[in-house]
Amino acid sequence: MSAGVQALEGVRIVEFGGYAAGPHIGKMLANFGAIVVHVESMSRPDGFRMQYPPYKDGKPGINAGGCFAYFNDSKYGVTVDLKNPEGRKLAKQLADWSDIVIENMRPGVVGRLGLGFEELCRSNPDLIMLSTCNMGQTGPRADTPGFGSQLTALAGMCGLTGQPDGSPNLLYGPYIDFIASTLGAAAVLAALEQRRRTGKGAYLDVSQYECGLLFLAGPLLEYRASGKVVARAGNDDPQAAPHGAYRCRGEGWMALSCWSTEEFVRLCEAIGRTDIARDPRLATLAGRKSNATLIHGAVSTWARDREAHEAAVLMQTAGVHAHAVNTVADLFTDSQLVSRRLWRRRRHPVIGDQAYCFPAFDLSDTPGDITAAGPVLGADNERVFREFLGLSEAEFKTAAAKGAMD
Amino acid sequence: MLQGIEVLDCTDRSGWLAGRLLADLGAEVTKIEAPGAETSCSDWRALNVNKQLVRIDLTSSAGQTELYRRAANADMLIATPNGDSAEIFDYTRLSAVNPRLIVTAITPFGLTGPKADWLASDIEIMAAGGAMSLAGEPGGEPLRVSVPQSYAWAGSQAAVGALMALAARGRTGRGQLVDVSAQAAVITALAHAPTFPDIAGTTPTRAGAFMTGRSVAGAKYRVFWPCRDGFVNFILYGGSAGRRTNEQLVAWMRERGFERGPLETIDWARFDPTRASQAEIDAMEIPIAHFIGSLTKREFLEGAHKREMLGYPVSNTADITTDPQLEARGFWQDIIAPDGHTERHCGAFVVVNGTRPPLAQFPGETEPTPITERGA
């Protein structure tokens, strides 16, 4: 789908599954040139198509969902009925064609469909396959169904978000799914490198739970070492003071932190409070923490009549860590993100222009791109099955007539 | 899988995870630290396990010469350049000594753009990436996660970027620069929230302990429920998964002799959370709160699993370290120090061909003859 030379040009990937955890891996790889085929069926389309708003003009429709499109840009979309023997034959052909298979069904399901790693390897011996699920493929709770938003609680992040005397907080969506998809992409790329050098494939078992714990590896080791359980602490940080969010004009907020006494002095001078800049009580981190109310009042008074983004610029000019708390809408106008072309609008046949999110990195020599909007259901059946798999017109029509693509 | 790939890891805490992930995948990672730099804190040890430590003073010309000598033979270099070190990690200079070198730069906002030089720690990056706007009480102070997350998001994206460049090198023979923005990395965590302002003209915001936006009647649903020793995450879902969960909850309450109130007569096959009123939800939540309040986190975890219900306890680090699922999968890895004591770390994040790649290097273990002691 891409014009220039890209890192993964020619690498063939097939995805069985849906929602975020599997497809987000394929999206990242597609953005750097891989040919990614997303497999759904007419009777069981990807759950992101119909279960999650927003929809074009607020009207739910199989091809009107922004959520599905957002995680499946730059891919080819096909329908294969995995309950139909002819469909399974087609799925097997896709797996034979591919370098990499990614699946995020419940453990054991791909095996029952005849699409397990060992079976696929018989005809595609250097295949790389990644399975991702809540708990991993083994263990006493391997079969646990679950949503990423709840798994984020089990993995500790929700309990670490909130005020010390308050409730845990949500982190909006299935936060942990995207940790696992990012780490999963790294694992697939490492397996690809191994295959390039040795000719050997690999089976990668990714537990979303375990991936999430890597984001708390320090506190987990701390508990082992000292018995200390790290707890939610609002916006406090043990190494900085002040450190928090300050209300600005209107609905705005600004995050700000000082990591040294010198930085605190710069802050005081910038907000016109030279009277406290060299207050001996505030000359140490411990002193600033025990006088947090005084400092909070001074910064809040300065910030409350200022627009958050302008206030942050003034702080940065003074040499103080600060940034406006961007709302999700602000992300589309943030000068830095605009400059780096994080959002790339592509035209979807039903949704129209939609902003797609580029990965957080780019490569200087072989840059990636968003090459297409997310596919409508079954958009690429003919191209994938005829052109990629090499089915004749008669074979394609026969498979379709037998319901393989339903 | 990355055996033989040599990585120089010159990062500060905002990039430690990148090298750890590459090491877990088999790369030979050398962690460069300044002489005397602290390596005893848990964060350092947990994210620099599996790497060999070398102390080099990069503020000295001898130290820079040593770094470039190593870079000439390495496959990858990961750095977190700032004002002081930007020149040392300049891609053009590094590439001149080793055109095959992949240089990954992790910075708060990326190497280019109007905010490239802005100061930002975790809280500012979480703010800039939109994550804080989605965490906290409605209308209240936006919150970050109390353990820095933006560094981990950036480090993860950096590992993917470095490996993407490695794939490119396999075809072109050349290294390149991988420019990672931590702000952009945090946006990965927002799920599909950005599609709302883009397609629907609405802006998602924080909802505290409740879930909103599911009911056309405007009802909010409790997500976090106090239990005997903490909190549980449980949501009244609809659909087939919600039906089973809700039926099983009521059965569990009945077995334990708890009052079910309106729950007893609800036909869960027809229950539609999108149409319930706040009064109905409030009446349903009273007996649920009473029941969940009687359970411990572990009782909820085990009971919910046995009954194939959706929902998990809100774990803390102590709960996680005793979870039998992690034990059974060999997630925890003991690594033995030269003096004989052991540390138990999170193991590699992926199981490869049925085996979890073992951690090979104790954190902070140096080369036999550290470069600083040779008087470099």
Mean pLDDT for all residues in chain A: 96
- Domain extent, residue B363, equals 6-188+331-374
Instruction: List the 223-282 stretch of A: residues with Cβ below 8 A of B.
Output: 223-226, 229-237, 240, 243-245, 247, 253-257, 259
Residue B204 lies in a domain: no
pLDDT at B375 over 60: no
pLDDT at A4: 59
pLDDT at B338 over 90: no
Residues B131 and B227 in one domain: no
Q: Are A60 and A350 in contact (CB under 8 A)?
A: no
Amino acid at A286: A
A-B contacts at Cβ under 8 angstroms: 498
Q: Structural domain boundaries of chain A? A: 12-215+342-401, 243-332
Q: CA Rg, chain B, in Å?
A: 25
Nearest 5°: CA angle at A130, between A127 and A136?
140
Chunked into runs of 10 residues, chain A (406 residues) has average pLDDT values of: 75 95 97 98 92 89 95 98 96 98 95 96 97 96 87 97 95 94 98 97 98 98 96 97 97 97 97 94 97 97 97 98 98 98 98 98 97 97 97 96 96
pLDDT at B213: 61
Interchain pair A171, B172: CB under 8 A: no
Tell me the pLDDT band of B373, cut-offs 50, 70 and 90.
Answer: very low
Copy the structure tokens of residue B235: 């949501």
Å from B145 to nearest chain A CA?
5
Interface test with A, best of B29, B89, B90, B145 (most A CBs within 10 A): B145
Backbone angles phi, psi at B7, to 5 degrees: -120, 130
Distance between CA A71 and CA B225 in Å, rounded?
32
Distance between CA A325 and CA A337 in Å, rounded?
14
Is the confidence metric ipTM above 0.95 for this complex?
Answer: yes
CB of B303 within 8 Å of a chain A CB? The answer is no
Residues B105 and B214 in one domain: no
Residue B355 lies in a domain: yes
Residue B205 lies in a domain: no
Beta bridge partners of A103: A16, A131
pLDDT in tens, B276-325: 888 988 999 999 999 999 999 999 999 999 999 999 999 999 999 999 99
**What's the first-to-final CA gap in chain A, in angstroms?**
25
Q: Are B126 and A253 in contact (CB under 8 A)?
A: no
pLDDT at B273: 78
Q: Are A218 and B42 in contact (CB under 8 A)?
A: yes
Q: Are B143 and A235 in contact (CB under 8 A)?
A: yes
Looking at the domain that runs over A243-332, which CATH code has it been given?
A: 3.30.1540.10
Residue B323 lies in a domain: no
pLDDT in tens, B244-254: 999 999 999 99
* E strand intervals along A54-201: 76-79, 100-103, 128-133
Q: Are A257 and A321 in contact (CB under 8 A)?
A: yes
Distance between CA A289 and CA A292 in Å, rounded?
5
Give A13's contacts in chain B (Cβ within 8 Å). Answer: none
Residues B53 and B174 in one domain: yes
Residues B11 and B140 in one domain: yes
Tell me the pLDDT band of B214, cut-offs 50, 70 and 90.
Answer: low
CB of A167 within 8 Å of a chain B CB? The answer is yes
Backbone angles phi, psi at B102, to 5 degrees: -100, 120
Residues B183 and B300 in one domain: no
CB of A355 within 8 Å of a chain B CB? The answer is yes
Beta-carbon contacts of B376 under 8 Å, excluding residues fewer than 6 positions away, are: B56, B62, B63, B65, B66
Comparing alpha-carbon positions, the chain A residue that sits nearest to B174 is: A365
pLDDT at B216: 62
Minimal Cβ distance to B157: which of A137, A151, A361: A361
Q: The dihedral of CA B250, B251, B256, B259: what is its sign? A: positive
Q: Are A138 and B328 in contact (CB under 8 A)?
A: yes
By three-state DSSP, how is residue A75 classified? coil
Give A135's contacts in chain B (Cβ within 8 Å). Answer: 325
Å from A243 to nearest chain B CA?
8
Q: Are B214 and A370 in contact (CB under 8 A)?
A: no
Interchain pair A223, B158: CB under 8 A: no
pLDDT at B209: 86
pLDDT at B275: 79
Give A235's contacts in chain B (Cβ within 8 Å). Answer: 123, 141, 143-144
CB of A64 within 8 Å of a chain B CB? The answer is no
CATH number, position B245: 3.30.1540
pLDDT at B173: 95
Distance between CA B365 and CA B361 in Å, rounded?
7
Interface test with B, best of A35, A59, A121, A214 (most B CBs within 10 A): A214
| A12-16: strand order across its sheet | A76-79, A35-40, A12-16, A100-103, A128-133, A202-207, B350-352
- Cβ count within 10 A of residue B269: 9
Distance between CA A352 and CA A354 in Å, rounded?
6
pLDDT at B371 over 60: no
Which residue bears the tokens 């780019």?
Answer: A362
SS (H, E, C) chain B: CCCCCEEEEECCCCCHHHHHHHHHCCCEEEEEECCCCCCCCHHHHHHHCCEEEEECCCCCHHHHHHHHHHHCCCCEEEECCCCCCCCCCCHHHHHHHCCCCEEEEEECCCCCCCCCCCCCCHHHHHHHCCCHHHCCCCCCCCCCCCCCCHHHHHHHHHHHHHHHHHHHHHHHCCCCEEEEEHHHHHHHHHCCCCHHHHHHCCCCCCCCCEECCCCCCCCCEECEEEECCEEEECCCCCHHHHHHHHHHHHHHHHHCCCCCHHHHHCCCCCCCCCCCCHHHHHHHHHHHHHHHCCCCHHHHHHHHHHCCCCCEECCCHHHHHCCHHHHHCCCEEEEECCCCCEEEEECCCEEECCECCCCCCCCCCECCCCHHHHCC
| Mean pLDDT calculated for residue range B229-249 | 90
Minimal Cβ distance to A205: which of B134, B345, B350: B350
pLDDT in tens, B152-210: 999 999 999 999 999 999 999 999 999 999 999 999 999 999 999 999 999 999 988 88
Residues B32 and B147 in one domain: yes
pLDDT at B370 over 90: no
CB of B100 within 8 Å of a chain A CB? The answer is no
Residues B168 and B264 in one domain: no
pLDDT at A114: 95
Distance between CA B78 and CA B230 in Å, rounded?
40
Residue B201 lies in a domain: no
Give B321's contacts in chain A (Cβ within 8 Å). Answer: 220, 223-224
Residues B251 and B224 in one domain: yes
Distance between CA A368 and CA A4 in Å, rounded?
9
Q: How many domains are there within chain B?
A: 2
pLDDT at B369: 38
Interchain pair B141, A244: CB under 8 A: yes
Amino acid at A344: R
Interchain pair A336, B114: CB under 8 A: yes
By three-state DSSP, how is residue A49 classified? helix
Mean pLDDT for all residues in chain B: 92
Burial of A127 (0-12, 13-18, 19+ CB in 10 A): buried
Residues B156 and B304 in one domain: no
Residues B31 and B149 in one domain: yes
Give B135's contacts in chain A (Cβ within 8 Å). Answer: 161, 169-172
Residues B251 and B336 in one domain: no
Nearest residue to B346 (alpha-carbon basis) of A209, A61, A220 = A220
CATH number, position B13: 3.40.50.10540
Residues B96 and B224 in one domain: no
Distance between CA B343 and CA B337 in Å, rounded?
8
Tell me the pLDDT band of B238, cut-offs 50, 70 and 90.
Answer: confident
Looking at the domain that runs over A12-215+342-401, which CATH code has it been given?
A: 3.40.50.10540
Distance between CA B130 and CA A329 in Å, rounded?
9
